[in-house]
Amino acid sequence: MVVRIRLARPPGHTKLTTRFDLVATNLKKARDAKPIEKLGEYDPVPRILGTGPGAGRPGQGHKRVEWSSERIRYWLDQGAQPSKSVVALLEKGGLLPPDNKYKGNSAARLRAMALLGTLSETRTAGSTSTSNT
């Protein structure tokens, strides 16, 4: 079973609420399926903190991210694959270094790098053959 760490909508969400749970789940399951374990929460909308007027409303507050770093490290050590958005969050939070192994090695990028590599090889081979004559 391949485990993926990704963002999922919490139970009982509406279209207007933008809040996500950080979960470890089976790769083949749907986004809103029951996860293996809830690892944290992420609220991407900056909200005004406090109890005064306007508290909890979108404004010039802070985005909220809460997670269990021990459990995230556990799942990463077990071979769980984080999604791209989770990799970005973990980098900002300091759980992953900026040059981590999860970043940017998609099949499309590898094909593009191989194509560029063959193009550069043909260019250098073409330039050396013309310089010899």
Q: What pLDDT does 56 receive? A: 58
Cα distance between residue 61 and residue 48, in whole Å: 4
Strand, coil or helix: 7? strand
Burial class from Cβ neighbours inside 10 Å (0-12, 13-18, 19+) for residue 39 reads buried
70-100 confidence digits (pLDDT tens)? 999 999 999 999 998 999 899 988 898 887 8
Q: What is the mean pLDDT of each run of 10 residues along the chain (133 residues)?
A: 89 80 91 89 78 60 85 93 91 86 65 66 52 49
Q: What pLDDT does 101 receive? A: 81
Q: What pLDDT does 132 receive? A: 52
Cα distance between residue 19 and residue 64, in whole Å: 9
Find how far residue 105's CA is from the centre of its chain.
13
Q: Cα angle at 80 between 77 and 82, to 5 degrees?
A: 115
